[in-house]
Amino acid sequence: MTSTELPLLSDPCAWLVAHGSSCAELFGFITGVLNVWLVTRENIWSWPLGVLNAGFYIVVFARTGLYSDTGLQVVYLVLSLYGWWHWLRGAPSRGGPSHGAVVVTRTPRRMAVIMAAIALVSWLTLATITRRLPGAALPWLDAALVSISLVAQYMMTRKLLENWLLWIAVDVVYIGLFINRQLPLTALLYAVFLVLAIIGYVQWHRSAARTRLANA
The reply to whether 174 falls in a domain is yes
Read off the pLDDT of each residue in 120-139 and give the average, rounded to a whole number: 85
CA distance 73 to 40: 20
The reply to whether 74 falls in a domain is yes
The reply to whether 125 falls in a domain is yes
CA distance 79 to 62: 19
The reply to whether 5 falls in a domain is no
Read off the pLDDT of each residue in 83-88 and give the average, rounded to a whole number: 92
pLDDT over 50 at 196, yes or no: yes
* Domain encompassing residue 36: 14-91+105-215
CA distance 203 to 81: 23
Give the model's pLDDT for residue 112.
96
pLDDT over 80 at 201, yes or no: yes
Model pLDDT for residues 7-40, shown as the tens digit of each residue: 445 566 665 556 556 788 888 889 999 999 999 9
Mean pLDDT, the chain, integer? 85
The reply to whether 194 falls in a domain is yes
Q: What is the CA radius of gyration of the chain?
A: 19
Give the model's pLDDT for residue 192.
93
Give the model's pLDDT for residue 96.
44
Amino acid at 73: Q
Least confident of 79-93, 95-109, 143-157, 189-203: 95-109
Higher-pLDDT residue of 168 and 139 is 168
The reply to whether 1 falls in a domain is no
The reply to whether 96 falls in a domain is no
Query: How many structural domains comprise the chain?
Result: 1
Read off the pLDDT of each residue in 144-155 and give the average, rounded to a whole number: 93
Give the model's pLDDT for residue 214.
83
Please write down the HEC assignment for all residues of the chain.
Answer: CCCCHHHHHHCHHHHHHHCCCCHHHHHHHHHHHHHHHHHHCCCCCHHHHHHHHHHHHHHHHHHCCCHHHHHHHHHHHHHHHHHHHHHHHCEECCCCCCEECCCCECCCHHHHHHHHHHHHHHHHHHHHHHCCCCCCCCHHHHHHHHHHHHHHHHHHHCCECCHHHHHHHHHHHHHHHHHHCCCHHHHHHHHHHHHHHHHHHHHHHHHHHHHHHHHC
